[in-house]
Structure 1
Amino acid sequence: MKKLLIFMVGLCLLNSCDHIDDFIGGGPTTPVEVSPVEVLETNTQYPLPYSVLSTINNTVEIRNGGFGSGATSHPTKGNEFYAITDRGPNTDYLDGKKFPVASYTPRIGHYRVTESGKIELLEEILLKDPSGQLISGIPNPEGKGATGEIPYDADGNAIAFDDFGLDSEGIVALKDGTFWVSDEYGPHIVHYNANGVQLERISPIGVNEDTGDRKLPAVFAKRRANRGMEGLAVTPDEKTLVGIMQSTMYNPEKIQSNITRIVTFDLETGYTRQYVYVQETANLSNSEITAISNTEFLVVERDGKFAGAGAAQKHIYKINLAGATDISGSNPKNELGLMVGDKTIEQSTAEELAEANIVPVQKELVVDLVAEFGYRHDKLEGIWLVDDNTLGFINDDDFTVSDNDGDGVIEQKILPGSTDIDASSLYLVKANF
């Protein structure tokens, strides 16, 4: 045995091995980093791993799951990505939302594609307040980002608001190990450390008085409930955050329009700019934005339909901020924002904006996922830039529950025309962008 050990040590030294225990079975081996395009097929469903949070009547699974409200590349490892949940399982109920797992904490999932073509969940990073206490997905109270939604527990009892509650949707990962996350409440843009502890919260509603001018423009508090800052990107130089609103803001009142906004935030100075993004039709959802360069981005623009239930839109557009008009105006504290005559930006038509010399961001269709391979899911919400001509897409499965009748009764979320549960899944697609 002694001679064998000496032989293996010598062999290890000759081959520049790092760990003798790799030879004698005394420890783990280093995972091989492999390009996902080498081991995963394009246009193919790869469900993400999950556990079960709870069951209802022994029939309906509430899954943990839920990853897919946003996604982003790992900043240094080509076979890894991050995906984020939203506020947790919920259904419409009375004047707000019912939360069957009210204690649920929004979280970031860290994933790896293995050399055998498996998707592994490496860790869950639970989001926390500045003191390190777990937050929930319960709405904020007045003055902290309230949307008007009243939270209820599984039995229909009203529950307390959460000052730090987050309906997380967009995520970016920086090279220093920290994350920026956007949400649909405030809307907030929140900086978290590698362990999920809040470092800074940026908002249009004055929750950051002690941080000077590091706020979003006041007009963003006009966001529509459950349609706040759905997508978040960071420029490749990591100097600027870029957020996109899911739908038209209610500015100054409830309105149906295809005029939406993009906001940029300079991380060093706190300086913001705003741009108009015109959707194909009113009431669509801008579900994700991710950076190609410091001025070019990819945007998910979708409806809320399943392709299996009829016509559906799941489009990816390439946009360019260069040449678009900054609509910030001279006073970021103006709650209505820049006016076009006596109208807000949202009240104006695309033609009226053009007459006022306001140029929206230019956009071109990159891929139609329904036409490409019949993408079946309703909520396409996450993009992973895998390489220069491959995109990864992830859907929000709503923790695999739904409320089809709007009565607060929780049902299993099933893909139309099948018995398949609508699971959060990764797809790779080739695209020229």
Structure 2
Amino acid sequence: MNQQEIGNHSFDHFYKKFKHGVRLPYDILNIHNIPDGAKQGHFIEIHCGGFGSEISAHPTEKHQFYALTDRGPNTTYDVNGDHGKIFLDPSYTPKIGLFELQTDGTIHKIKEILLKDPTGKTITGLPNQHFGATKEIAYDQNGQILQNGTDEFGLDSEGLVALKDGTFWVSDEYGPHIVHFNAEGIEIDRINAYTQDDRRKSGYLLPLEYANRRQNRGMEGLTITPDQKKLVGIMQSTMSNPNKSVINSDVTRIVVIDLETKAASQYLYRQEANTTVHSNTAIVALNNNSFLVSERDDDFYKDNPNAFKRVYKIDLTQATELESVQETEQFKQDEYLGLLIEGQTLEQYVLEKGWQGLAQYHIYPVAKTLVVDLVERLQYPHDKVEGLWVIDEQHLAVLNDDDYAFSETDGVLEQKYLDRDQQVIDANTLYIINGLDLRPIE
């Protein structure tokens, strides 16, 4: 069906087809005979797929969207205390998929764009060795350490922006890095917090404290303002700033990169619970100052009917821009730790003195209001919500990450079920919600 035919249908039509969720197409990865630790006598089915890390509207085709994979089918394997990860397909290449909504209530995959280094060589999702290395050890499915188990261009891709010029920005959890790819998926530039990284061709630089991101909790969400001039990223959790002693805090950071001036600005976001429980997983612009943000816990509805999966509208205008705070006896702008209050990082200060302590110094987080509780509205069955697509001022699309349909418990691989008794396996699923107020905050 061509775009003109699709365009004759309103999003109310698509809402009726997609309100209960429609699965994205996927293949079964050619990895077999892995016993399912969750269901004796069964073997794990690996979905590929994997287009659940982020979603970005097509800049011109209103019924099309791009979706992003992460670093490939992997899971925790920390049995040796070395931050190990099992990579079931070490050669897996992170990719961007272009999809289209069909009037019959299905989703058609138009193409895939493999991500590549500046020479055009496909990258992998294996950990970096420098510039934000997580020190994770890569293992194969048999628990053996992988030879050549790192990739300096490897990405654990999480955030995606599709620009009007046909290029893409992708943020990740390793550096965090924000990488600019051309329409063919070849890297042309990047932004990170590492001054010695000569891959930063245009000189963009994140505030250096972002090098202190918590392992596997990097820049989970990325968006661009409607004028295409500013990238806006949100960190998944409290950064280990200055170290991991602060990770029980409920403060996360939002960074704005001006693509014209290269200047960076920062704001604080207050989560509804501490970040060992909650994660921010997506951000999408409504205008230059208003955004939607997803916040979630790790629970499944089947296990916890009070699971937390919500979308908030936030506003930057009433929040404190951290880079502009002037140094005083109490405030210091530290090159590697960011704004300090009485010698403490903001993460330390919030953990010790709370948000009231910050307010005494007139430091305020972004204002936030609830847009939709996905558990209340949809009985949202998945553990993760990682993609937000603002279709119009009333319709919002939400996409989950299915982790390639498997997980692990204590190093044992198992199928990721939404319903174990009925053998309903998790999969990337798109929901369209209507009747929302998605207008920017004036």
- Give the alignment's TM-score, normalised by structure 2: 0.88
- Give 1:412 deviation, angstroms: 1.1
Aligned counterpart for 1:400 among listed residues 405, 417, 432: 405
- Give 1:33 deviation, angstroms: 2.9
Instruction: Tell me what 1:340 maps to.
Output: 341
Matched, 1:53 2:48: no
2:154 aligned partner, one-letter code: G
Instruction: Tell me what 1:253 maps to.
Output: 243
C-alpha offsets along residues 368-416 of structure 1, whole Å, 9 cap, x if unaligned? 010112001001000111121000000000011110x221x32211014
Instruction: Tell me what 1:136 maps to.
Output: 124
Instruction: Tell me what 2:329 maps to.
Output: none
Describe the SS at the equivalent of 1:428: strand
Describe the SS at the equivalent of 1:378: coil
Describe the SS at the equivalent of 2:210: helix
1:146 aligned partner, one-letter code: A
Instruction: Tell me what 1:432 maps to.
Output: 437
Describe the SS at the equivalent of 1:191: strand
Instruction: Tell me what 1:73 maps to.
Output: 57
Aligned counterpart for 2:72 among listed residues 88, 94, 98: 88
Matched, 1:316 2:311: yes
Describe the SS at the equivalent of 1:237: coil
Aligned counterpart for 2:14 among listed residues 4, 24, 39: 39
- Give 1:355 deviation, angstroms: 1.3
8 Å Cα contact 2:314-2:369 kept in structure 1: yes
Aligned counterpart for 1:218 among listed residues 199, 208, 212: 208
Aligned counterpart for 1:410 among listed residues 387, 409, 413: 413
8 Å Cα contact 1:286-1:300 kept in structure 2: yes
How many residue pairs align between the two structures?
403
Distance in 2 of aligned mates of 1:136 and 1:36: 37
- Cα separation, partners in 2 of 1:177 and 1:257, compared to 1, 3 Å: same
Distance in 2 of aligned mates of 1:131 and 1:279: 40
Instruction: Tell me what 2:109 maps to.
Output: 121
Distance in 2 of aligned mates of 1:163 and 1:327: 31
C-alpha offsets along residues 255-294 of structure 1, whole Å, 9 cap, x if unaligned? 2110110000011121000000000110110000000011
Matched, 1:361 2:366: yes
Instruction: Tell me what 2:268 maps to.
Output: 276
Distance in 2 of aligned mates of 1:40 and 1:427: 8
**Farther off after superposition, 342-351 or 313-322:** 342-351
- Cα separation, partners in 2 of 1:268 and 1:30, compared to 1, 3 Å: closer
- Give 1:212 deviation, angstroms: 6.3
8 Å Cα contact 1:218-1:332 kept in structure 2: no
Distance in 1 of aligned mates of 2:181 and 2:6: 27
- Cα separation, partners in 2 of 1:245 and 1:308, compared to 1, 3 Å: same
C-alpha offsets along residues 160-181 of structure 1, whole Å, 9 cap, x if unaligned? 3101000000101111111111
C-alpha offsets along residues 300-319 of structure 1, whole Å, 9 cap, x if unaligned? 01101111111210010000
- Cα separation, partners in 2 of 1:225 and 1:119, compared to 1, 3 Å: same
8 Å Cα contact 2:22-2:105 kept in structure 1: no
Instruction: Tell me what 1:386 maps to.
Output: 391
- Give 1:213 deviation, angstroms: 4.1
C-alpha offsets along residues 38-64 of structure 1, whole Å, 9 cap, x if unaligned? 234253110100011123317211111
Distance in 2 of aligned mates of 1:121 and 1:175: 20
Distance in 2 of aligned mates of 1:249 and 1:116: 44
Distance in 1 of aligned mates of 2:6 and 2:196: 42
Instruction: Tell me what 1:423 maps to.
Output: 427
1:33 aligned partner, one-letter code: I
Instruction: Tell me what 2:220 maps to.
Output: 230
Give unmatched runs, 5+ long, in structure 1.
1-27
C-alpha offsets along residues 178-223 of structure 1, whole Å, 9 cap, x if unaligned? 1111000000001111111101111112354464641101100111
Instruction: Tell me what 2:135 maps to.
Output: 148
Instruction: Tell me what 2:158 maps to.
Output: 169
Larger radius of gyration: 1
Distance in 1 of aligned mates of 2:393 and 2:2: 30
Distance in 1 of aligned mates of 2:32 and 2:201: 45
Identity in percent? 49
C-alpha offsets along residues 80-124 of structure 1, whole Å, 9 cap, x if unaligned? 001101111111113221101111001111000123322100011
- Cα separation, partners in 2 of 1:212 and 1:55, compared to 1, 3 Å: closer
- Cα separation, partners in 2 of 1:335 and 1:416, compared to 1, 3 Å: farther
Describe the SS at the equivalent of 1:232: strand
Instruction: Tell me what 1:14 maps to.
Output: none
- Cα separation, partners in 2 of 1:207 and 1:422, compared to 1, 3 Å: farther
Distance in 1 of aligned mates of 2:15 and 2:425: 22
- Give 1:332 deviation, angstroms: 7.7
- Give 1:323 deviation, angstroms: 2.0
- Give 1:30 deviation, angstroms: 6.7
1:156 aligned partner, one-letter code: G
Describe the SS at the equivalent of 1:318: strand
8 Å Cα contact 1:70-1:288 kept in structure 2: yes
CA RMSD of aligned residues (A): 1.8
**Farther off after superposition, 56-65 or 84-93:** 56-65
1:235 aligned partner, one-letter code: T
Matched, 1:325 2:320: yes
- Cα separation, partners in 2 of 1:135 and 1:148, compared to 1, 3 Å: same
- Cα separation, partners in 2 of 1:375 and 1:148, compared to 1, 3 Å: same
8 Å Cα contact 1:89-1:398 kept in structure 2: yes
Instruction: Tell me what 2:37 maps to.
Output: none
8 Å Cα contact 1:62-1:399 kept in structure 2: yes
Describe the SS at the equivalent of 1:32: helix
8 Å Cα contact 1:217-1:332 kept in structure 2: no
